[in-house]
Amino acid sequence: MRNTVRRAAAAGLVAVFLATTAADGASACSRILSNANGQANVVARTMDLYRSDDAKMVVYPRGLVRASTTGDGKSFNWTSKFGSVAVTSFGAATSDGMNEKGLVANLLYLGDTRYEQRDGRPGLSNLSWAQYVLDNFASVKEAVEGLKDVQIVSVEHDGKRWPLHLAISDAEGDSAVIEFVDGRMVVHQGKEFTVMTNEPPLETQLKNVRNYKLFGGTKPMPGDIDPESRFVRAASYLKTLPAARSVPEAIAGAQSIARTVAVPPGAKDTSGSVAEDAWPTLWFTLADSTNKTYFFHSASSPYLYWVDLTKIDFGSKASERAIDAYDWNLAGDITQRLTKAD
């Protein structure tokens, strides 16, 4: 089935969202792209889940041979063109990451996902989706075009199938949110698509945000932890975020918004929402696409640490390296502390 690409110029709702946000989120999560701060294009992302995801931060070099297994005989292999730093979950999926060109991929839970009926294209496991993008593309435009040649297929892991949608952004501040709605791939592409949470799908989220004061409505900003409340809150704070005076300030601004949508352990959803994904935040990342620095913060640690991709040898002979992302002893620049992966 052919892709449906929804762009800003083609939809009135998108135009409204662009006008109101010009000042300027593999589970329940929030993604925020700060691409209008005047200093750096920064993505903040929270990982919210009902159990530990056994996260590792991994350095993947160029030249890795990958295999995507979908169980239907239509899987395929590829060789990575670009090196990347990624956070893996359950030892099976890249949930988040940035490649050496500054392309960022954020894989989030979307309970309303309905994937396409299987056709003759090579099958790409939805758990490999984000890493495939990081391995093969340097920009959002390239990724959107390249994904037309494969078909995303749901596979089971940890006893369940994971309905997922993907956000991607690049060093130029371009963005795309890719979802599967009613069996169709829907691509929202443009710099204005800065926030993503979970269900309902993005088009419905964009309609809902117009009910709130900063977007032309009358409702006050919601404070609950359900996906719609987090979407409105992130979009609202992103809209009022002042211009940054430095790169660190741009990163800190994105981080401050991520903290407003992070869910503390034990928090209860009192919104009345039927969304299944109001889960505690396990970790969040910050990806500075402009300067190629990738940050990680675990909810079980008071410390922020980061990897400078410009200091990594991504040559094809480089070893794959990894760390336990939850190691609470990690702080500051840990680029040189990465060890060989298991």
Q: In the chain, what are the domains? A: 4-340 (3.60.60.10)
C-alpha to C-alpha distance for 20 and 50, rounded to whole angstroms: 34
Query: Are the C-beta atoms of residues 166 and 152 closer than 8 Å to each other?
Result: no
Crossing angle between the packed helical segments 12-21 and 227-240, to the nearest 10 degrees: 50
**The pLDDT of residue 192:** 99
Q: Which residues contact 153 (CB under 8 A, 6 or more apart)?
A: 70, 72, 115, 118, 123, 124, 125, 126
Per residue in 170-199, pLDDT (tens digit) is 999 999 999 999 999 999 999 999 999 999
Residue 15 confidence class, pLDDT cut points 50, 70, 90: very low
pTM of the predicted structure, to 2 decimals: 0.90
Q: In the structure, what pLDDT confidence band is assigned to residue 145 with cuts at 50, 70 and 90?
A: very high
Per residue in 323-341, pLDDT tens?
Answer: 999 999 999 999 988 866 6
Q: Which residues contact 230 (CB under 8 A, 6 or more apart)?
A: 25, 30, 197, 261
Q: How far apart are the C-alpha atoms of 305 and 282, rounded to whole Å?
A: 15
Task: Kindly report, residue by residue over 189-227, the tens digit of the pLDDT.
Answer: 999 999 999 999 999 999 999 999 999 999 999 999 999
Cis peptide before 200 (omega within 30 of 0): yes
In this structure, the number of other CB atoms found within 10 A of the CB of residue 223 comes to 12
CA distances from 32 to 84, 195, 253, 342 (A): 20, 5, 11, 32
Mean pLDDT of 55-62: 96
* pLDDT interval class at 319 (50, 70, 90): confident
Mean pLDDT, the chain, whole residue set: 90
- The predicted pLDDT at position 277 comes to 56
Neighbours of 90 (CB within 10 A): 17
Residue 3 pLDDT exceeds 60: no
Residue with tokens 């893996």: 88
| Residues of the chain above pLDDT 70, percent | 89
Under a CB-based contact definition with an 8 Å cutoff, are residues 314 and 82 in contact? yes
Residue type, 176: A
Tell me, yes or no, if 227 is annotated catalytic. Answer: no
Angle at 221 between CA 217 and CA 222, to 5 degrees: 120
DSSP string across 194-205 = -EE-SSS-HHHH
- Contact (Cβ atoms closer than 8 angstroms) between residue 132 and residue 93: no
Give the active site residue among 14, 26, 28, 29.
29
Strand 304-308 with 293-298, pairing: antiparallel
Per mean pLDDT, which of 25-39, 87-101, 153-167 is the most reliable? 87-101
Whether 24 shows a pLDDT value over 70: the answer reads no
pLDDT at 107 over 70: yes
Split at pLDDT 50, 70, 90, the class of 23 is very low
Query: What is the SS3 assignment for 283?
Result: strand
